[in-house]
Amino acid sequence: MRANLLKYALLTLGLTSLPLQASIGDDAPSPVPAAEAAMDSDDGGNPDAIYIPNDTPTTAQTLPNPVVVNGYVHQPGTGPEDQSHASGDIVDVYQVRLRAGQRVTLTMAGDGVQADLDLGLADLDGNLLDASAGQMRVESLTVKQDGDYLALVGANRGASRYELRIDQAQGRAAPSLRLSDRFVAGEAIVRFSERAAGTRSVLQTQAGIMGALEGRENEPRQRNALLNLAGLRQIEGYRTLASIESPGFPGGFQPPEPVARDKLATLYQLKTLALDPEVELAGLNYIRQILFTPNDPHYPLQWHYPQISLPQAWDVTTGANVIVAVVDTGLVFSHPDLQGQWVAGYDFIKDPVNAGDGDGIDPNPEDVGDNPDGGSSFHGTHVSGTLAAATNNAVGVAGIAFGAKIMPLRVCGRTNCTDYDIEQAIRFAAGLANDSGTTPPRRADVINLSIGGPGFTPGSQAVYDQVRAAGVIMVAAAGNDGVSEMNYPAAFAGVIAVGAVDINKALAPYSNFGSWVSVVAPGGNTGQDVNGDGKPDGVLSTATSDGSGALVNGYAVWQGTSMATPHVAGVATLMKAVAPSLTPQRFAELLTSGALTDDLGASGKDDQFGYGLINARKAVTAVGGGSGGASRVIDSSLLNFGINAGIMTSAP
Amino acid sequence: MSRFSGMGVILVLALVGYAQPGDPVAAPANLPLAALQSQDQCGGLSRPTVRWIVDPGEWRTVYAQLHNQWMTPPPPPAVDFPREGVLLIAMGQQSSSGYGLTLADERATVRDGVLTVRVNWREPAPGRRLAQVITQPCLLATLPNAGFTRIQIVDRQGRLRLEGKR
């Protein structure tokens, strides 16, 4: 047995099949369905099962979702002397309706090498869409689009029991070799085993003839070489190995496109190479991409974006075709970094004195002041810039969901922002009847409320319920008093309440807290410059000043839960771009499952950080998530991982 | 959106005298005040502050600090040092919008060496919905470099809000 094979075997010794307990927060908005348990219908080794073949698309076994399936597949002549021993049960085919963001995970009892199972997803015609074909004990695939699929479990070598789990993706996917990964078809990066000086194996010799080892004749140590697998197949040394190479995914499932077929063939050629005793390591030649880095000159000062893994999310989406309403002081339309970033909004300030623009509500949400002497904080402009400032335009700053559009809704005037005006604004944003007598051509998908205060009117909750029922995700600031008292509208049921952290991910000294806080995001602390960039560690965004009597547009760092809120609303906007059907309910379920955050403070939800720090990369990966959150195994007794006495007992 | 009228300073030297620091002023006198800036975000002023600035170097340093949250800080307004000085009044850190400072009177008084300045000390009414941004409101105003030794900031109702020394 080769050393790395032994390593694989040893890795299995710590594996257990403990039931997973569903993790649902106390205030989960709805019950999360537990995964159902199921059994492979043609498990020849299970005397209790009624034998029903499930080997082809037409005989696929239908599964619920989420689900945990216990099953068994094997190549002919391997495994116990059961019903299918001679003929083999090469593949199990399951039909299941999946949602984007769900993960299908195959855990095998075998070692993943001598007993090697692969996982596939195919359309209902059996066209292979993705495959996980490593030599690991765990293979997994993440669903990219909602739809009906065939989940395939195939025996590439040997025999093994397995557990197939379908549930919401949580945490990082297990390392594997996946068809959907970006790699060069027909190439492998190989390091040959060390040999005596001046000697080469047959395979090495042939690789040398192909030029893969050119100029290395006198090198004392092996180093990575790039092999052309197509060329390698022509040489004698490899043909010996090729006799054990499987033709492709078990059961003959193939992708329809030629490029994908080449990639699939590369995966299986790589498996063969990895078994060659002359090969120490073999891997794919992955194609790497540079994370999108905006060219906005102040972007390097926006530390708060890497803190929420935003650049990684930008490689997935920038929020195109999504509308986020900013219920605030209005907008400075002249700001150069907000040009082209908004759709029509409304001024909902009913009291002309509070409005300061000569009338009550009107269709112009321009920020004409939010203090009694006519000046303004231009708060809505700062919030809007964080959400969706024009980005990669070589001007100013970057915005989180810069492909989205802002719907400015003015509610904060010269004396305050009243509940009634706010309610009219969020109703307008949601496309519901309101005092303007109009609704927008297209309702908002997300509402940002970086405003708040204590107390509430009992009738207000119903308004927030109606807006939520209309499908709009509402995100609001937890408040800046450093206390646990509830701040509204953040504390209304159905609203995501956002606290603030500083650059060190510590709770900002001003941030409110409590069991009602849902999540935290960077709100900054302008009293420090931890990163030494010469600027206070606040949130940098578009800003306007009239302090000298003239209107000056620029960029400034501010702090507050007002600044944290658009980070969460912006991430929600990105999620809506990936999954337009994402509902407030589903957003809350994902949040409570931990799929959108990095846990901070006490494990799980806590009063300081809620469910943790919003993570844009995780969020866009998780969107459209499955019908359930965490799964619970009801009965895994048939899955014998054979951990007893440290002896692996996968089927031979 | 100018909130300030002219920035010129009319000296009333006949009433106050062109005093040096420490010189007592025998009789109450009025000094003209001119607002330079009133803003919500005054960097570094997390505590209530009143400060009299008569040195050009100090003025540049303080002004830069006040605007350190801006990516492109504006240049400091011209001040006719040493004929006049700059009075900095800061409310300290506040938890939301709704706080602010503006001049309530375009004249200050000096009596017994105490400069008294009336301001609109604006605080939001309790229970209001407000923008949840941390603010540090401050006011900058110029006035003649008169001979006062202490400074009092009072609101429109005459309540003492801040005190400082020259």
Q: How far away is chain B from the Cα of A416, in angstroms, using its nearest Cα?
A: 6
Q: Of A285-289, A334-338, A597-601, B149-153, where does mean pLDDT reach its minimum?
A: A285-289
- Minimum Cα–Cα distance from A511: chain B residue: B95
Comparing CA positions, the residue from A418, A479, A428 lying closest to residue A452 is: A479
Q: How far away is chain A from the Cα of B13, in angstroms, using its nearest Cα?
A: 27
Do B40 and A382 make contact, defined as CB atoms within 8 angstroms?
no
Do B132 and A479 make contact, defined as CB atoms within 8 angstroms?
yes
State the best of B69, B133, B136, B142 to mutate against chain A, taking most chain A CBs within 10 Å: B133
Cis peptide upstream of residue A489 (ω within 30 degrees of 0): yes
Residues of chain B contacting A451 with CB distance shorter than 8 Å: 129-132
Is A379 considered catalytic here? yes
What distance in Å separates the CA atoms of residue A302 and residue A385, rounded to the nearest whole number?
A: 12
Residues of chain A contacting B125 with CB distance shorter than 8 Å: 416
Q: What is the pLDDT of residue A45?
A: 64
Q: Of A222-231, A399-408, A436-445, A503-512, where does mean pLDDT reach its minimum?
A: A222-231
% chain A with pLDDT above 90: 65
Residues of chain A contacting B8 with CB distance shorter than 8 Å: none
For residues B28-46, one letter each, b for 16 or more C-beta atoms within 10 angstroms of the residue's C-beta and e for the rest, the string is ebebbbbbbbbbbbbbbbe
| CB-nearest partner of A329 from B37, B128, B131 | B131
Do B133 and A377 make contact, defined as CB atoms within 8 angstroms?
yes
Q: What is the pLDDT of residue A242?
A: 54
Do A536 and B69 make contact, defined as CB atoms within 8 angstroms?
yes
Do A536 and B77 make contact, defined as CB atoms within 8 angstroms?
no
Q: How far away is chain A from the Cα of B93, in angstroms, using its nearest Cα?
A: 10
DSSP state of A234: T
Contact B139/A at CB under 8 A: no
Comparing CA positions, the residue from B109, B80, B131 lying closest to residue A422 is: B131
Is A328 considered catalytic here? yes
What average pLDDT does the structure give for chain A? 85
What distance in Å separates the CA atoms of residue A420 and residue A407, rounded to the nearest whole number?
A: 19
State the best of A357, A422, A451 to mutate against chain B, taking most chain B CBs within 10 Å: A451
In this predicted model, what pLDDT tens digit does every residue of A145-194 receive, in sequence order? 889 999 999 999 999 999 999 987 766 677 889 999 989 988 989 888 87
- State the count of interchain CB pairs (< 8 A) between A and B: 145
Q: What is the mean pLDDT of residues A202-219?
A: 73
- Minimum Cα–Cα distance from A453: chain B residue: B129
Q: How far away is chain A from the Cα of B64, in angstroms, using its nearest Cα?
A: 12
Distance of alpha carbon A559 from its chain centroid, rounded? 28
Contact A375/B at CB under 8 A: yes
Contact B128/A at CB under 8 A: yes
Q: Of A147-156, A203-212, B101-110, where does mean pLDDT reach its minimum?
A: A203-212
* A42 or A634, which is more confident: A42
* A42 or A494, which is more confident: A494
* A313 or A373, which is more confident: A313
Is A631 considered catalytic here? no
Contact A509/B at CB under 8 A: no
| CB-nearest partner of A379 from B2, B97, B102 | B97
Q: What is the pLDDT of residue A25?
A: 26
Under the banding of pLDDT at 50, 70 and 90, the label for residue A29 is: very low
In this predicted model, what pLDDT tens digit does every residue of A237-281 receive, in sequence order? 565 555 556 668 999 999 998 889 999 999 998 888 888 888 888
Do B131 and A328 make contact, defined as CB atoms within 8 angstroms?
yes
What distance in Å separates the CA atoms of residue A470 and residue A433, rounded to the nearest whole number?
A: 12
Contact B65/A at CB under 8 A: no
Residues within 8 A of B (CB atoms), A 537-576 only: 538, 540, 543, 545-552, 554-563, 565
| CB-nearest partner of B3 from A298, A373, A377 | A373
Residues within 8 A of A (CB atoms), B 17-46 only: 36-41, 43, 46
Q: What is the pLDDT of residue A34?
A: 63
What distance in Å separates the CA atoms of residue B11 and residue B14, rounded to the nearest whole number?
A: 8
What distance in Å separates the CA atoms of residue A521 and residue A528, rounded to the nearest whole number?
A: 17
SS3 B132: coil
Q: What is the pLDDT of residue A205?
A: 75
Do B72 and A301 make contact, defined as CB atoms within 8 angstroms?
no
Q: What is the pLDDT of residue A144?
A: 80
The residue from A328, A357, A370, A502 that is catalytic is A328
Residues of chain A contacting B70 with CB distance shorter than 8 Å: 543, 545, 554-556
> In the predicted model, is pLDDT for residue A99 greater than 70?
yes
In this predicted model, what pLDDT tens digit does every residue of B10-46 receive, in sequence order? 333 344 444 444 444 455 789 999 999 999 999 999 9
Under the banding of pLDDT at 50, 70 and 90, the label for residue B107 is: very high
Do A549 and B120 make contact, defined as CB atoms within 8 angstroms?
no
| CB-nearest partner of A549 from B4, B97, B133 | B4
What distance in Å separates the CA atoms of residue B92 and residue B101, rounded to the nearest whole number?
A: 11
Q: How far away is chain A from the Cα of B120, in angstroms, using its nearest Cα?
A: 10
State the best of B7, B42, B93, B132 to mutate against chain A, taking most chain A CBs within 10 Å: B132
In this predicted model, what pLDDT tens digit does every residue of B76-85 receive, in sequence order? 999 999 999 9
Comparing CA positions, the residue from B84, B69, B73, B70 lying closest to residue B31 is: B84
In this predicted model, what pLDDT tens digit does every residue of A430-479 receive, in sequence order? 999 999 999 999 999 999 999 999 999 989 999 999 999 999 999 999 99
How high is the ipTM of this complex?
Answer: 0.85
> In the predicted model, is pLDDT for residue B114 greater than 90?
yes
Q: What is the mean pLDDT of residues A386-415?
A: 97
Q: Of A201-205, A267-271, A459-463, B86-90, where does mean pLDDT reach its minimum?
A: A201-205
Residues of chain B contacting A541 with CB distance shorter than 8 Å: none
Write down the domain spans for chain B: 21-165
In this predicted model, what pLDDT tens digit does every residue of A349-391 receive, in sequence order? 999 999 999 999 999 999 999 988 888 999 999 999 999 999 9
The residue from A74, A298, A335, A379 that is catalytic is A379
Do B3 and A375 make contact, defined as CB atoms within 8 angstroms?
yes
What distance in Å separates the CA atoms of residue A377 and residue A269, rounded to the nearest whole number?
A: 63
Do A555 and B122 make contact, defined as CB atoms within 8 angstroms?
no
Under the banding of pLDDT at 50, 70 and 90, the label for residue A46 is: low
Q: Of A106-110, A492-496, B133-137, where does mean pLDDT reach its minimum?
A: A106-110
| Contacts for B88 with CB less than 8 Å, ≥ 6 apart | B49, B50, B51, B52, B53, B62, B66, B138, B139, B140
The residue from A132, A511, A562, A593 that is catalytic is A562
Residues of chain A contacting B95 with CB distance shorter than 8 Å: 479-482, 510
Under the banding of pLDDT at 50, 70 and 90, the label for residue A551 is: very high
Q: What is the pLDDT of residue A199?
A: 64
- Minimum Cα–Cα distance from B141: chain A residue: A548
Q: What is the pLDDT of residue A186?
A: 87
Residue A15, CA distances (Å) to A107, A108, A111, A277, A651 in order: 10, 11, 11, 27, 16
What distance in Å separates the CA atoms of residue A358 and residue A437, rounded to the nearest whole number?
A: 20
> In the predicted model, is pLDDT for residue A204 greater than 80?
no
